[in-house]
Structure 1
Amino acid sequence: MNALTITRIIAAPTERVWDVLVNRMEEWWCPRPWRAEIVLQERRAGGAANMVMHGPNGEVMPNEGMYLAWDEGRRFVVTDAVRLDPATGTFLPSGPFMIGTWEVAAEGDGTRYTASARHWTEEAMKQHRDMGFEAGWNAAADQLQALCEAG
């Protein structure tokens, strides 16, 4: 399946984790000192999912994609294989790298948070792992967890 996954328990109610997950992305999405800027989010299957990541040395990494699923309160799924031109409503092929899934589910007194990246090829998965998937996605999850547990 060429997947990379992280999971953890966050000591906060699922509703709070979901709220922070989707409404405060700019605060947790990128490991600091990077930051994310939300450009357009159409929270529905087939909607645009566009952001720009900004690095500490002036790096700019646009991320344009499309939501494949938006299950309110539970999960969202995004791919960079297709992007939506908001001006025309046209779906355009893009350079596919992954399908990303972010999920929350009640577990005990907290919430299980799971984020995964599925890749078209084993080589793309290895490239993502070598780029620092585990450290980067765990750092972002640490930031998410801190915001959720801060109350």
Structure 2
Amino acid sequence: MKPEENDLFITRTMKATREQLWKAWSDPAILAEWWCPKPWSVKDALIELKPGGAFNTTMCGPNGEEIPGKGCIVYAKERECIVFTDCMTAGWRPSGESFMTAVITMEDVDEGVRYSAVVRHKNSEDSNKHNDMGFQDGWGKTLEQLEDIAGGL
């Protein structure tokens, strides 16, 4: 999937299998270990990898900050693709807010697994805000954490 205007994109070749990466995504306890860049952490993770399933996390900062996130899985194909959004919550309920929709793909390559994320935003303001929040560094760090954890599963 190619990024378009208002999309942010990151890709890595992971030294983990698609099965390991899927397990790291599908188990809320494991997802909580890598989902946000340290020293941030996650509590109350809930992920149901099926269309209409919940994707909820609360990110906790080192100074006591808490950022709750509630979303919905739009599409999931085991070991290949996950699409989630914050414009809906579980059961296809409108959230009243919309910041992004993410498309995660996993593809076997000679060196491992090409893991890509295209993060779509409704406008350039949201895309720029997400980029200014440190998208490349933050998502890059979480991919390093994901690779480390998934590789050991």
TM-score normalised to the size of structure 2?
Answer: 0.88
Q: Structure 1 residues 90, 29: CA separation in 2 closer, same or farther (over 3 Å shift)?
A: closer
Aligned residues of 1:6 and 1:138 also touching (Cα < 8 A):
yes
Deviation per residue, 1:114-137 (Å, 9 max, x gap) = 122100001110110001101100
Where does the alignment leave 5 or more consecutive residues of structure 2 unmatched? none
SS at match of 1:127: helix
Instruction: After superposition, give the CA deviation of every residue in 1:23-75 in whole Å (9 maximum; x if it has no partner).
Output: 22111110000011244322211112111111110000000011110111111
- Do the aligned partners of residues 90 and 104 (structure 1) sit closer, same or farther apart at CA in structure 2, a change above 3 Å counting? closer
One-letter amino acid matched to 1:133: F
Return the alpha-carbon distance in structure 2 between the equivalents of residues 95 and 13 of structure 1: 35
Contact 1:41 1:50 in 2 (8 A): yes
Is this contact kept in 1: 2:20–2:151, CA < 8 A? no
How many Å separate the matches in 2 of 1:94 and 1:79?
A: 12
For 2:62, give the aligned amino acid. P
Encode CA deviations 1:68-116: one digit per residue, 9 max, x unaligned.
10111111111101123xxxx5713321000012221111141111122
Structure 2 match to 1:59: 65
State the secondary structure of the residue aligned to 2:62.
coil
- Cα pair distance change 1:116/1:22, threshold 3 Å: farther
Is 1:18 paired with 2:22? yes
Q: 1:39 to 1:8 in 2, by over 3 A?
A: closer
Q: TM-score normalized by structure 1?
A: 0.89
Out of 120-129 and 75-84, give the one that drifted further: 75-84
Structure 1: how far apart are the matches of 2:71 and 2:55? 5
CA RMSD, aligned part only? 1.7
Correspondent of 1:125 among 124, 127, 143: 127
- Equivalent residue number for residue 106 of structure 2: 104
Q: How far apart, CA to CA, are the structure 1 residues paired with 2:121 and 2:113?
A: 26
Residues 93 and 20 from structure 1, CA distance in 2 versus in 1: closer, same or farther, beyond 3 angstroms? closer
Structure 2 CA distance for aligned equivalents of residues 90 and 68 of structure 1: 9
Which secondary structure does the structure 2 equivalent of 1:70 belong to? strand
Secondary structure of 2:38's counterpart equals coil
| Distance change in 2, residues 1:104/1:38 (3 Å) | farther
